[in-house]
Structure 1
Amino acid sequence: MARTRDSDACPGALHVHNAADGALARIRLPGGMITAAQLAAVAAAATRWGSGTLELTSRANIQIRGIQQDPAALADAVAAAGLLPSPTHERIRNIVASPLSGRVGTTTDVRATVVELDEAIRARPGLAALPGRFLFGIDDGRGDISGLGADAAVHFLGDSAALLLAGRDTGVRLPATQVVPTLVDVAARFVDLRGKAWRVAELDDPGALVADLPVSADASATWEPLTRPPVGWIEQRDGRVALGAAVPLGVLPARTAEFLAAIDAPIAITPWRSVLVFDLDEARADTALRVLAPIGLVFDEHSPWLSVSACTGSPGCAHSAADVRADAAAAVAEPAAGHRHFVGCERACGSPPVGEVLVATGDGYRPRTAPP
């Protein structure tokens, strides 16, 4: 079903959203990739101009809330860190990708594909008209991203890739060299055909986006959505170590982010609101683990924090009927069988694709029955 207006109000670093607790800036990280120096710069910006915390999103981006003054100065700091390469395209650089790609497992290494796609998006002037909610996905073959329902995505199958629309296999198979050109072409067609639709699933005929592409496979492949991040001590295939840390409710204190940056290693934010630190030798990994675990990051794959999430809620969101983060934190002491996402209103922001969504009523919570 199409929306009632022809564009959305997704914030960026330049176009902030005026929330109840101040302005909100969102920083896009294609593939969730960020350097230690960039994370340190974002943490410093959040401390100086914002609430002193970094919010990790379900698209592997970072938000800074509570900006009470000078959002332009914050945007300048983000740009100086190399995180704002295109003012015209900054809100549509939405790319989720398999965060362990190239380091863990034997699937296709898609890191270069993420960079190539980001560059191709920025090189197409017409794509600046994409809605800020349009999402690209690149799954390296392990099946962690394909279940997230990205608007235009690929799932690598060795030397070729399946083309997905709104999380569904189209039956189109692409050689690796055609993955990026095809994704940007699909996005450009969406701009032309979308009317007031923000997402591919809202089109009357999503197949029109790929009508000229040959179908060469049965379009029956499906992938289960994941809700739990990779956490703990993760062996890389090169013998080094990655550390996976869940961030309770996706709220990362700036001071904790500074500790992560001080490790001085490659970092990725995941779509499950967690952090990965890569390419560590065992000694550095052990030292980092001893420092980070006591300050709130979660490295236990059995932790109940991995089964609870929440939207912003009160007091940050004027639409919310409750302080849902506080309620979600309290619920950690009462583990449930599946994932629970607490939201303050029917919009159900940030809801995962599976699990129970609990909507605040002002007098407790009720299960949400309608899809987002």
Structure 2
Amino acid sequence: MPQPPSAASRDEPVIRVRGDACPGALRLHAADDGFLARVRIPGGLLDGAAALVLADAADRLGDGHLDLTSRGNAQLRGLGESCGGELAELLGRAGLLPAPSHERIRNVVASPMAGLDRAGRVDVSAWVVELDRLLCAEPDAAGLSGRFLFALDDGRGDVAGLDGDVTLLAGGEGALLWTAGAVEGVRVAGVDAPRAALVAAGYFLDAARAAGTRAWRVGELPPEHALSVRVLRDRLAGAGISGRVERVSVPAVGEGPEPGLVWGRGESAALSVVAPLGRLSSGQWRLLAGLSGRMRLTPWRGVVVPGMTERTARRALGELAGAGLVVSPDDPWRAVTACTGRPGCGKALADVRADASGLVTRAPGPLPVHWSGCERRCGHPRGTAWVDLVATPDGYEISAPGRPTALAAQSDLAAALTAARSTTPSPSQ
């Protein structure tokens, strides 16, 4: 099984000789099915009007679909080579490009159920909005890579384990702030949390410049330039933010909200749905955008719709199910993910989406499964307890926790995948 990025060794620092090539809304990526645009949506927070603009862009300029990413962002595919200016104008009018020079660095994941359920936790969506404002207003922040990630967790531990470079975990007195790989963090007041996250990112940029390696992420810094929690605390103090050092206990990788109706406070409710293979038609997208005028995209390729009542939510569930979205926890599509595969990706060796669709009900099992068109395993789940299928010229390599990797031909794939998904991981996996 592949190891999560956070498990990589720091003994051999990554030497970067160029900036990252991560796509954005203005820097389009050339794929085999046309150009790709990735629109950053901090915290996944999206209002209905902006969501409808994205649907219009998908229809007018792309292939009529929107893809959800593992960071709660949205992608448009099948774009024409000359549509960049028109796309930028559409996104700008919708408020989705508040700072064009910073558009690729607005990578913020947040607990999607924050403030919506009855858990009584901090609503970190306010932190998301403030952190995004601070990032866009700080010229130096434009030096962050398109891969640098902020994780804002409301205390339930769902996004704190998603390999953030800078993490805020709400709870106790304010929030605990730490950087990737740290065993200690700094406890800061809630009112200071977004600004503290920006200070931590600035510390990383200074360390990366001093290292001379052009590191894209905190984990790529060489050991002699690793971030120090004491220095971070002093930098925070210099910015007028008081804090104390505390031990960090990083939560295990959390799961996204279960599909279905979510009870809120009083008579309020929300809906949670998952998009099969993280892909939505513009029609499905418009349906979700029109329910309450607000959406939250999740890092688990789902959508949460806030601002509903029990009556409106229950009525919408049937409509969403009829539109092909996952609305119940036992839907087999909930546990299946895949990369783009053929024909969209030139490196892929198989049409993994079609293969996954053909076996979603024929190869059941408790373990989730991820289909990869090549050994890069793009978009694979976090953690290790999943079944890993990697396309080869001769079939699929299948591996699962506690099982040796095996090669299965297309004709044997259903049986092999069913057996692998039935594996019981050991407690350490």
User: TM bucket by the smaller chain?
Assistant: over 0.9
Query: What secondary structure, in the 3-state scheme, does the structure 1 residue paired with 2:101 have?
Result: coil
Aligned amino acid, residue 137 of structure 2: A
Asked if 1:255 is matched to 2:274, the reply is no
After TM superposition, the runs of 4+ consecutive aligned structure 1 residues lying more than 6 A away are none
Counterpart among 145, 158, 181 of residue 159 in structure 2:
145
Map 1:1-372; keep pairs closer than 5 Å.
Answer: 1-2=13-14, 4-68=16-80, 69-104=82-117, 105-166=119-180, 168-194=182-208, 195-205=213-223, 207-208=226-227, 210-214=229-233, 216-219=245-248, 221-333=249-361, 334-354=363-383, 355-367=386-398
Residues 108 and 12 (structure 1), Cα distance of their counterparts in 2 relative to 1, 3 Å cut: same
For 2:54 and 2:381, locate their aligned partners in 1 and report how far apart those are by CA, in whole Å: 26
Deviations 1:308-338 (A, max 9, x none): 1011111101111111111222231212331
Deviations 1:38-82 (A, max 9, x none): 111100110000010000000000000000241221221111111
Query: What secondary structure, in the 3-state scheme, does the structure 1 residue paired with 2:354 have?
Result: helix
Larger Rg: 2
Q: 1:226 offset after TM fit, Å?
A: 2.5
Q: 1:340 offset after TM fit, Å?
A: 1.3
Decide whether the 8 Å contact of 1:249 with 1:325 is kept in 2: yes
Q: 1:135 offset after TM fit, Å?
A: 0.4
Aligned amino acid, residue 381 of structure 2: P
Q: 1:240 offset after TM fit, Å?
A: 1.1
Decide whether the 8 Å contact of 1:49 with 1:71 is kept in 2: no
The percentage of counterpart residues that share the same residue type is 43
Aligned amino acid, residue 110 of structure 2: A
Decide whether the 8 Å contact of 1:101 with 1:108 is kept in 2: yes
Decide whether the 8 Å contact of 1:346 with 1:368 is kept in 2: no
Aligned amino acid, residue 295 of structure 2: I
Q: 1:207 offset after TM fit, Å?
A: 4.2
Q: Structure 2: any 5+ residue segments left out of the alignment?
A: 1-12, 234-243, 401-429
Deviations 1:340-370 (A, max 9, x none): 111112222112112233221122222479x
For 2:368 and 2:352, locate their aligned partners in 1 and report how far apart those are by CA, in whole Å: 15
Query: What secondary structure, in the 3-state scheme, does the structure 2 residue paired with 1:18 have?
Result: strand
Q: 1:138 offset after TM fit, Å?
A: 0.3
Partner of residue 237, structure 2: none
Aligned amino acid, residue 220 of structure 2: E
Aligned amino acid, residue 269 of structure 1: L
Question: How large is the Cα RMSD of the aligned pairs?
Answer: 1.8
Aligned amino acid, residue 324 of structure 1: V
For 2:145 and 2:398, locate their aligned partners in 1 and report how far apart those are by CA, in whole Å: 29
Decide whether the 8 Å contact of 2:113 with 2:257 is kept in 1: no
For 2:390 and 2:16, locate their aligned partners in 1 and report how far apart those are by CA, in whole Å: 23
For 2:60 and 2:51, locate their aligned partners in 1 and report how far apart those are by CA, in whole Å: 14
TM superposition score normalised by structure 1: 0.94
Q: Structure 1: any 5+ residue segments left out of the alignment?
A: none
For 2:182 and 2:390, locate their aligned partners in 1 and report how far apart those are by CA, in whole Å: 28
Residues 335 and 228 (structure 1), Cα distance of their counterparts in 2 relative to 1, 3 Å cut: farther
Deviations 1:71-106 (A, max 9, x none): 221221111111111100000000000111112111
Deviations 1:102-125 (A, max 9, x none): 121111111111111001111110
For 1:347 and 1:164, locate their aligned partners in 2 and report how far apart those are by CA, in whole Å: 29
Decide whether the 8 Å contact of 1:245 with 1:276 is kept in 2: yes
